[in-house]
Structure 1
Amino acid sequence: MPPKSNLAHVMPLTSLKFLTAKANRADFVVDDLQLQIEAHAPGVYRLRCGAGTTLEERPAGKGRAPAAEMLLARPEAVGELAVSSIVHEGGQGWRLEQGDVALQISSSPMQFALYKGEHCVLRSEAEATLAREAEGDACVWQLSLELDCDEALCGLGETAGDLDRRGQYLVSDLPEMRVLPLAWSPRGWGLYVNAVGRVEHDLAHEHPDYYSVCVHDRVFDVFLFVGEPTEIFNQYSALTGRAGQPGLWPMGVWLEQGPQQSLEELGKTAGQFRAEGWALDAVRLAAPALCGFQADKPVYEWDAHRVADPRALVSGLQALNLQLAAPTFPGVLADTLLFQEWEDRGWLLIEDASGEAHRCAGNEYSGGKPFGLLDLTHKDVYKLWSERQRQWVDEGLGAPVCDAQYDIPDGITARSGEAGAALRTLYPLLARRALFDAVAGHKTPQEGVIFSNDLFPSVQRFPWQSGPRVTNDWAGLEHTLRTALSLGASGVPVQLHGLGSAHHATAGMTPELYVRWLAMNVFSANFAFQGAPGLLPGDFDDATRELVRHWLQWRYRLVPYVLGIVEDAVRTGLPVQRSMALSFPGDPLAHAWDTQYLLGPALLVAPVLQPGNEVKVYLPRGDAWWDLNTGWRYEGGTTWTVEAGLDTLPIFGREGHMLCLGPTAQHTGEFNSARILDEVWMFGMPEHSPVVMRNKIRVMQMQGSSYIKGLEGLRILPSEGLEVKRRGAEVRISRAR
């Protein structure tokens, strides 16, 4: 763990004076600095502090947009602000209101508080709200916030541990820490630091009830959100960008090539899936990169040592109705003519001390060979690499795979001037954006996926996130689940799980664990089988193979619902797998059940994470819940022990919602786009329009009944005590008489 910033000599900013107010902004002077507080959107405040001239600067880097514009999808303010002067016991202050949301700031000492109505949801530290340490152009800011003793703080990136990040110390630009910039509390507030430099989140403070944020940047720039977590996610994703559409085929099941598995063996495995009736849509090839630049010219070609006939590979997969994902990386192999040419041209990242191109140690994508990183901050380099990936897509690639979050040392500089933490933050963003431009940029709406394990600000714009490489035991199952929930709690809508990992010993993967893991994966955003001995369905007994077939049928029936959740993420920023704290912020007891989750708005899933058939489940208060396996209704706020055989999973439908299911299929190409739905399950009287892929189904309430349009010809399974009456294109659900 790196040392914490030495802020012993940092000086708190204390003297606050009001300058002027505009329609959406109030300006203050704090000591000798300028502070701007902006109504960025309803329920969102932007606080910017710095020297007066730096706040107005918008310097463009060479060949690209400013970093701030890259991180914000909506930089302009759209809110309205009402400013009034107040007097309190400590002296003078000001109240900045947006409807029932207000930010109240005091002058001496400088302190702010956020209010929702009359309720204070967040307060800064009284003696040192904002402090600053400056030396030349270098500047460190420290924001100190008070936390209640029992208040959870969620978000801030990936973790395999507790979703409450209290007691942790996190640094944004260290790849191993897996940090993201959104923090939020179930109490009703959130914080986003808009910076590409280093940001330190200190929740392991010597005083346990403080949260300190240290920002290494010339300008202090943070956004404060007020509202329920779902409102915070909506505003955060509107501010920083939302995920693009994934399309239909990526929602199908994946097969990943094992590290030692040849293409011929992979083809035989895919053929076995088809022969056994195990549904499958795509294969993902293992590293090293399958395409790359030639040694002496910028021509992008398939690796002839791995793929002698690319057309035969693509056509063979197409014959099995399979799509192809393959690895790539933004580099040029060292000690080649092209490396020397691009080093001379300034198209590679440069070492400050020598002025020469930086040589990265070989990794799995480069086949272990050292390479130079393309300077993607240079517009010509960015364009060239994106166009070469587009060429590869045109030749049959369905999705690129690229992990570009390199631990770039200090002393490495890009053409645009970024170095150190800023370059470590921006580089994976540029790599993934270039790939998304190649895959989806020419489509309207933009549709496509890029697989990557990288984390960086605005990562949620570019689907999908690869899951971690976990151990093949019960701990590994819980690990992949917790990372998905923590990423979802940090604004990333989708994680693709692996069913085990081909990079770890498989001795611990028992048939029971394999089926439990598969069942959890089915009720997630998506997953991939691993092409390694001991991790494929064919490696197990007949009973296990039949259970695999059973769960894969469930998966494809769920595709319309899951893709509907992903499409909803494009509008709301909410993840597919939603933690209890995110879904039920007002039920503190639910937060303790942190391996349960909501799959979209309608289904509560309690994965089986240990051997045996008995599972304890907590059903959150405020709703009733319907057991999908028995049809029984349970009141919320209750705990139950349920029996779950290997062909079942504890899943409960939320009262007032519906689950729309599609047909069974072997791949998504069998779906009839004109009739994607097959069956509708009711959980009590319908009150909410269902989440369904590209379907217009609307629920209306009248005279104690629900009238639903859009269910023509579908089989409808009502809950106990309800009856269905069809009236032409309309379905009426009412109490049974």
Structure 2
Amino acid sequence: MKFTDGFWRIRDGVQISYATEVRDVCAESKRFTAHAAVKRVTKRGDTLNAPLLRVDCFSPLEGVIGVRVTHHAGKYNPGPDFALTADPDGAGTVRRDGSVTELTSGPLTLRLDEAGPWTLTFRGEDGRELTRAGAKGTAFATTGDGAHHVLAQLALGVGEQIYGLGERFTPFVKNGQVVDVWQADGGTSSEQAYKNIPFYLSSRGYGVFVNHPGKVSFEVGSESVGQVQFSVEDQSIEYYVVAGPAPKDVLARYTALTGRPALPPAWSFGLWLTTSFTTDYDEATVTSFVDGMAERGIPLSVFHFDCFWMREYQWCDFAWDPAVFPDPEGMLTRLKERGLRISVWINPYIAQKSPLFDEAARLGHLVRRPNGDIWQWDLWQAGMGLVDFTSPEARAWYQAKLKRLLDQGVDCFKTDFGERIPTDVVWHDGSDPERMHNYYTHLYNRTVFELLEKERGQGEAVVFARSATAGGQQYPVHWGGDCWASFEAMAESLRGGLSLSLSGYGFWSHDIGGFEGTPDPAVFKRWLAFGLLSSHSRLHGSTSYRVPWNFGEEAVAVARRFTLLKHRLMPYLYGAAAEAHRSGVPVMRPMLLEFPGDPGCRSVDRQYMLGPDLLVAPVFTEGGEVEVYLPEGTWTHLLTGERVTGPVWRSERHGYDSLPLYVREGAVLPLAGDDSRPDGDWLDNPTLLVHPTDDADWTAEATVPDLTGIPAAVFTVRREGDRLRVTAQGTERPFAVRVPGGASAQGAGEVVVPLA
């Protein structure tokens, strides 16, 4: 939200008060509190009839410093609040030196000098200034409608770039943008977003998290071009500066604060096929799809039933439509006998026609208006109500309905919707409706995910979620929502996923071929390669089926090629997944995450690193023309073996069976011997694809995890002159070693491979 009219003036109807000078500082051993006057105090009378801002500075975790700015402290906060991890004793250390107070936490220091104008300065471990809240950096404002806002501004350095703020489909670099953190069902072609996260990451090696679950308005160099401003309609604002110095360090600390992603089961990384949305289907249709994939040699891992598995006008009552699925238990048994997992679509709404509506209403499980009426509307489902997940009883009731589906053979749920949450309602626990608008999706997905963990066990739970807020990364997987079937939407989807990955989310997917409309075969084939080189891969559409043979025999070949390739890559990919679970570093990584020191990577949004060592550049043209940037080092194309030395921009042309897919110099890729499934025995005849550097003392390691993400074997590679020596720990089974463009060898325990 903008409060100023240009640089000099305040907007009509706005009154704004800036922290101007320090009046006192109360320091403890691990935190301090300062009071700031909003005007110069030259005599005692100046303290009368004037506001005073309280600013609390503290550290919840090492490398994270929080600032809470409060105008009137008496406002009641009914919640909800983000659940944050914090050291109960505090993680910082306060030092006083004359007029200067400093709070240091790990590599991050906050400095306040009482002798000068009000300024909060954040410095890194090397003493370099990261950012500061200067002359207009701490304030409150009232607007003509009587609303009260608290705001902060943090300085942007020369050339500094800002990323994240959730899954945003607007330009990847957020400088110059106005971003309102407010859930909306707006597709992938506007400034609205399904996943709004009040966290941004800076190219200068720090992040900022605004700890407010409601609407947070960001002006990213868009009101004051040298500042990132964020404001909330409240009496206080709390934000955390998160230290780096590398972007990976920022994400590690941020996810330590807000929650690390769970590790999805390995089977979920295989190919998902759905019925699509409004298409006609029954068991015969489903069986024909499954048979068709098998006949064409395209391994399938998950079959998903979208909305119309239930009766029309009755979503969600979790009952199979008997007209098209008269024997759901038998059907699911038959599908599971073929090795498939089963997913079904759900949402948190209950239509009035469903018998569950009366049941939920009688039990008090639906959200109500202030006058006691059940909140209803006809958008999406006729007369639908909204499950009140703030009620423990409603959560248990909802889980009991889902458990019946699990008992029938369902394995996971697509948790759709959760964005259009009203604010003119009363919640069971008294939550503030404005704060609950964004937060509702967190309760929704947590309710479903916790049931899956309880019934299927930890490590087996996975959802396919559309909406999320801060902390939602704990409940993977998330997909990019409703996109068009076009190259432009394909690029939009990637931008959204890359922004989400810089917001703490480890796993992300999208609808292969696009959701709305029917893709041109060229779009579908190009999207297949992109989708199967994402963390999770799903064929899904709206009004048409997404079975590959509907798009020609070449599409079938492309689907088969990249599905088998993904299965071979699973030991590597699951290692990256385990890293996301441990540290918060995502599987799909914007280039700047792996190469923060390379300016050429900072605005690249049409390619990414898949794990630490694979560079993927999807092709967004029918003819196969694509530009790709390769950072410093020697890169080897995984499919062709071509070697390219960077840094370099390349213009390439690829057929539908290829795309820029480069392996980083120094990488050791463990490949599965069995490409028929994503969750096979990865130590059964694996191949280590070794890309040595020219360093005479080069060594590297490759880890093959088990299906729980724990390392099952470690392979150490050492260069010894003109050969490589590879030794295995944790396994005595045979393995192969291959050097692209060179020799290969096989053995057990230890293998030596000549380089020439």
TM above 0.5, one fold? yes
Partner of 2:452: 439
Partner of 2:386: 373
The 1-side partners of 2:33 and 2:725 are apart by: 52
The 2-side partners of 1:34 and 1:168 are apart by: 30
2:498 counterpart SS class: helix
One-letter amino acid matched to 1:717? R
Matched, 1:656 2:666: yes
Q: Give 5+ residue unaligned stretches, structure 1.
A: none
Partner of 2:118: 110
- Say if 1:261 and 1:680 are closer, same or farther in 2 by CA, change over 3 A: farther
Whether the 8 Å CA contact 1:168–1:202 is kept in 2: the answer is: yes
1:39 counterpart SS class: strand
Whether the 8 Å CA contact 2:685–2:734 is kept in 1: the answer is: no
Q: 1:101 aligns with which of 87, 108, 112?
A: 108
The 2-side partners of 1:202 and 1:393 are apart by: 45
- Say if 1:294 and 1:255 are closer, same or farther in 2 by CA, change over 3 A: closer
TM-score normalised over the length of structure 2? 0.86
The 2-side partners of 1:17 and 1:7 are apart by: 29
How much does 1:701 deviate?
A: 6.0
One-letter amino acid matched to 2:167? E
Matched, 1:717 2:738: yes
How much does 1:721 deviate?
A: 7.0
One-letter amino acid matched to 2:553? D
Identity %: 23
Report matched runs for 1:69-468 at 5 Å. 71-76=82-87, 80-86=91-97, 92-107=99-114, 108-133=116-141, 139-175=148-184, 176=186, 177-178=192-193, 179-203=196-220, 205-227=222-244, 228-258=246-276, 259-263=278-282, 264-288=284-308, 290=310, 301-334=319-352, 339-340=357-358, 342-343=360-361, 345-352=363-370, 354-363=371-380, 368-442=381-455, 445-468=458-481
How much does 1:47 deviate?
A: 1.5
The 1-side partners of 2:401 and 2:92 are apart by: 47
Stretch deviating more after TM superposition (224-233 or 386-395): 386-395
Matched, 1:30 2:36: yes
One-letter amino acid matched to 1:657? A
How much does 1:389 deviate?
A: 1.5
2:626 counterpart SS class: strand
- Say if 1:197 and 1:545 are closer, same or farther in 2 by CA, change over 3 A: closer
How much does 1:381 deviate?
A: 0.9
1:525 counterpart SS class: coil
Matched, 1:699 2:709: no
Stretch deviating more after TM superposition (711-720 or 211-220): 711-720
Partner of 2:606: 595
2:670 counterpart SS class: strand
Partner of 1:50: 70
How much does 1:281 deviate?
A: 1.0
How much does 1:158 deviate?
A: 1.8
Q: 1:546 aligns with which of 557, 562, 566?
A: 557
One-letter amino acid matched to 1:128? K
The 1-side partners of 2:2 and 2:395 are apart by: 32
Whether the 8 Å CA contact 2:31–2:103 is kept in 1: the answer is: no
The 1-side partners of 2:618 and 2:359 are apart by: 54
One-letter amino acid matched to 2:295? A
Partner of 1:565: 576
How much does 1:34 deviate?
A: 3.6
User: Cα deviations across residues 553-605 of structure 1 (Å, max 9, x unaligned)?
Assistant: 21221222222222211111112211122222211112233211100001111
How much does 1:276 deviate?
A: 1.4
2:540 counterpart SS class: strand
User: Cα deviations across residues 399-458 of structure 1 (Å, max 9, x unaligned)?
Assistant: 112224232333212022224321212211111000001111355534311112112121
Q: 2:649 aligns with which of 639, 657, 661?
A: 639
Q: Provide the aligned C-alpha RMSD in A.
A: 3.3
How much does 1:725 deviate?
A: 9.0
Partner of 1:40: 60
2:335 counterpart SS class: helix
Partner of 1:67: 80
One-letter amino acid matched to 2:243? V
Matched, 1:496 2:509: yes
The 1-side partners of 2:141 and 2:514 are apart by: 46
One-letter amino acid matched to 1:94? T
1:412 counterpart SS class: coil
Whether the 8 Å CA contact 2:421–2:440 is kept in 1: the answer is: no
TM-score normalised over the length of structure 1? 0.88
Partner of 2:48: none
